[in-house]
Structure 1
Amino acid sequence: MASLETKAAERVVEACVRTESVRKCVFTSSLLACVWRQSYPQHRRFPTTVDENCWSDETFCRDNKLWFALGKTMAEKAAWRAARGRDLKLVTICPALVTGPGFRRRNSTPSIAYLKGAHAMVAEGLLATTDVEQVAEAHVRVYEAMNGTAGGRYICYDHIVRRAEEFVELELQLGLQARAPPPHDEQAATAIATPSFELCNRKLTRLVSSRRRCTHDAYLSVSYD
């Protein structure tokens, strides 16, 4: 599956390159292409930031059978390789688990695949969600800004799942049988309260905010005396 997704990404970028009218491409990846890494920091005073500069470790994904994350990581890397040195400006958006009214039930297969290893993500502060409308807006805003400063990768999320109760509710909304979180001692409970990682979407937040201001200014009503 990962190899198929990789080939598809390469072909999409190649098609964009060959189409004269297409000089910009917004590629949808996943937050899972950023969060899974081989070594986790221990006993750090402050959490390690996970942002658009981070990549999931492919070996770690294979060893832990995180196939959805592996596919997204390999596909995004393939897209960047295919666009390198070509007359095409590429940006990628890495959304968290996409939510929205009815969206998860209509798209339950990728949502379930996303949640592989979810308990570890919750414990580390890495399980996040984003509304489908916010993902759509992010694509539009980034595309509009590509003639200017927009470039590289953008992490997209609007909520981080921090409590076991939230995760159970998430599973129920997906139509899954809710699983109780694994038992943990007091030390583990503290680890959940103070996760090892901190997600950061500051780059996208700044871009979207600036584009909203520009749109507001452009359509500001003018009164005439």
Structure 2
Amino acid sequence: MACEGVFHIASPVLGKSDSNCKEATLGPAINGTLNVLRSCKKSPFLKRVVLTSSSSAVRIRDETQQPELLWDETTWSSVPLCEKLQLWYALAKVFAEKAALDFAKENNIDLVTVLPSFVIGPSLSHELCTTASDILGLLQGM
């Protein structure tokens, strides 16, 4: 049976304690996304790719500079602000999604993205990622 659709849902999510968080997040997120799309390009049966991005790709911006800015498909998180605050996950999502959109356009791939606020589920690691730690803190009243 031919593969007609792909859901790309993986991305590095590291804890705050990781010393090389920038390198460990940006490269794998961007390259992993492009690797998936390169594989998709090889399939003559592919109809659509769904990329799970993140609300972090659009919501991190300085509200005082553009308070009335509407959020749509042209809205992105501020790269300088993400860098200043060392929000590497958000920056990775911006760069990976932009790279995916460019690649899909150049290669005639039907790509759609979804931007969830957070994803909850069993952790593959014994160390909780930032989102899971934040949720746990809320549940524990912290």
Using the size of structure 1 for normalisation, the TM-score is 0.44
- 1:111 maps to 2:131: yes
Cα offset, 1:170, TM superposition: 6.1
| Structure 2: 5+ residue stretches without partners | 1-24
Instruction: Show the counterpart of 2:107.
Output: 86
- Identical pairs, percent: 28
Structure with the bigger percentage of helix? 1
Residue matched to 1:23? 47
Which structure: larger Rg?
A: 1
Deviating above 3 A after TM superposition, structure 1's stretches of 4 or more consecutive aligned residues are none
User: Pairwise CA RMSD of aligned residues?
Assistant: 2.7
Contact 1:13 1:82 in 2 (8 A): yes
Q: Output the amino acid matched with 2:31.
A: K
Question: Quick one: structure 1 residues 97 and 36, their matched pair in 2 at CA, closer, same or farther if it must change by over 3 Å?
Answer: same
Is 1:95 the counterpart of 2:116? The answer is yes
Distance 1:67 1:85 in 2: 27
1:1-21 Cα distance to aligned partner (Å, 9 max, x none): 212210111111111111112
Q: 2:137 aligns with which of 164, 171, 175?
A: 171
Q: Distance in 1 between matches of 2:102 and 2:74?
A: 16
Flag the structure with higher strand content. 1
Show structure 1 runs of 5+ residues with no match.
116-168, 179-225
Quote the offset at 1:112 in angstroms.
4.5
Shift of the alpha carbon at 1:89? 0.7
Query: Given the superposition, is the C-alpha separation of residues 110 and 83 from structure 1 closer, same or farther in structure 2, using an over 3 Å criterion?
Result: farther
Match of 2:64 among 3, 17, 41: 41
- Give the structure, 1 or 2, with the largest relative contact order (CA under 8 Å, sep 6 or more): 2
